[in-house]
């Protein structure tokens, strides 16, 4: 072990929401492993945060989390750091099937969406399950408001909403399984969050305006909004909060 500070793991930690979550947890003193497929990008993100903090707290581990062998290798690397206090399953993407290409293309797009948004979390969680802190471990899954209200705009195909919704049922079972060990399991379901790569340029001013109009607070969400919620869920103060789907959407989805 390098030192005895808490180890947090953030999948998709090289960009957008995950990067800000990593920055926040590292700023609080955690050693944070960030995982993603693009090694160069991850290394740059880690370097920038470490430089800002003046300490080497963010550790890049490149892996495609849809691939069991790569997940196993990442988990072995993480094991060298010690017990995992916090696992934030944040990696995800919107897979858009091309219209009119038949059932084969549709099946392929749905499978890729399930792989990217669900299987990544299932594999990483299971690879690290035995290494989570007991008691006190924190498992956080990043879903989407799309899971609660259906896909729209850039993710109107429905596979993204369906893949994210699958996280919810799985999380309930995990919360029941891990509660006796003192591990909490919660799902964060953000609405539109700006300054991320997920919309790949499809978040036009009209799209963003429609998202803002959906909210009760009249603004977009930010990666910092999500990071603040993760910070709380990951804290000792949140020990009585488990098995919940938490909407972080400016009121765009009410009461679920
Ligand atoms: N932005 C929003 O409005 C919004 C709203 C609700 C929910 N979310 C959710 O928030 C999470 C973070 O997304 P974001 O908005 O911050 O978008 P983003 O900037 O595109 O981040 C997604 C991250 O996931 C990583 N990733 C994707 N597939 C992966 C794989 N197979 N293995 C490992 N890493 C993988 C990507 O890195 P590599 O490409 O390098 O692998 C990337 O860093 C996602 O789960 C997304 O569904 C976002």
- Cα–Cα dist 69/92, whole Å: 19
Catalytic residues: 160
**pLDDT tens-digit map of 36-81:** 999 999 999 999 999 999 999 999 999 999 999 999 999 999 999 9
125 is a domain residue: yes
CATH number at residue 205: 3.40.50.720
Nearest residue (by CA) to ligand 1, atom 36, is 12
Least confident among 8-22, 77-91, 143-157, 180-194? 143-157
User: Is residue 218 situated within a structural domain?
Assistant: yes
Q: Does residue 17 have a cis peptide bond before it, meaning omega lies within 30 degrees of 0?
A: no
Q: Which whole number is the average pLDDT over 233-251?
A: 98
Q: Which atom of ligand 1 is nearest to the CA of 65?
A: 32
Find the 198 Cα to ligand 1 centroid distance in Å.
Answer: 6
* Assigned domain for 254 exists: no
CA distance 208 to 38: 27
Residue 231 located in a structural domain:
yes
Helix (H, G, I), strand (E, B) or coil at 53: helix
Spacing, Cα 142 to ligand 1 middle (Å): 9
Q: What average pLDDT does the segment 203-224 reach?
A: 97
Q: What pLDDT digit, counting tens, does each position of 99-157 carry? A: 667 899 889 999 999 999 999 999 999 999 999 999 999 999 999 999 999 976 555 66
State the closest ligand 1 atom to the C-alpha of 146, by its place in the atom list counted from 1.
6
**Domain count across the chain:** 1
Per the structure, the complete domain to which residue 175 belongs is given by 7-248
Give the position, in ligand 1's atom list, of the atom nearest the Cα of 203: 3
| Whole-angstrom distance, CA of residue 48 vs CA of residue 153 | 33
Prediction pTM value: 0.97
Which residue in 154, 250, 135, 190 sits closest to 21, CA to CA?
A: 190
Decide if 81 is inside a domain: yes
Sign of CA dihedral 224, 145, 58, 46: negative
Flag whether 65 is in a domain.
yes
DSSP string computed for 69-96: HHHHHHHHHHHTT--EEEEEE-------
Examine residue 256 and state whether it is found in any structural domain, yes or no. Answer: no
pLDDT at position 1 over 60:
no
Amino acid 154: pLDDT: 53
Question: Does any domain span residue 255?
Answer: no
Tokens of 114: 């399930």
* Contact call for residues 220 and 210 (beta carbons, < 8 A): no
């Amino acid at each position: 072990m390098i030192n005895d500070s808490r180890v947090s793991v953030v999948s998709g930690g090289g960009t957008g929401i995950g990067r800000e979550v990593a920055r926040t947890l590292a700023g609080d003193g955690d050693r944070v492993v960030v995982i993603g497929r693009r090694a160069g990008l991850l290394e740059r993100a880690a370097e920038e945060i470490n430089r800002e903090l003046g300490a080497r707290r963010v550790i890049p581990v490149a892996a495609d989390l849809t691939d069991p062998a790569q997940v196993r290798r990442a988990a072995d690397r993480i094991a060298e750091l010690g017990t995992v206090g916090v696992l934030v399953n944040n990696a995800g993407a919107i897979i858009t099937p091309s219209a009119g290409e038949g059932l084969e293309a549709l099946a392929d797009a749905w499978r890729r969406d399930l792989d990217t948004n669900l299987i990544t979390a299932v594999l990483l969680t299971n690879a690290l399950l035995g290494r989570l802190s007991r008691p006190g471990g924190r498992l956080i899954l990043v879903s989407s408001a799309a899971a609660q209200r259906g896909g729209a705009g850039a993710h109107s195909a429905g596979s993204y909403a369906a893949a994210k919704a699958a996280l919810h049922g799985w999380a309930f079972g995990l919360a029941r399984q891990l509660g006796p060990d003192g591990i909490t399991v919660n799902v964060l379901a953000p609405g539109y969050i700006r300054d991320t790569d997920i919309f790949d340029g499809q978040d036009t001013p009209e799209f963003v305006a429609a998202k803002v109009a959906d909210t009760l607070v009249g603004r977009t969400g930010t990666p910092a909004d999500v990071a603040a919620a993760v910070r709380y869920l990951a804290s000792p103060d949140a020990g009585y909060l488990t098995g919940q789907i938490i909407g972080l959407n400016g009121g765009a989805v009410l009461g679920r």
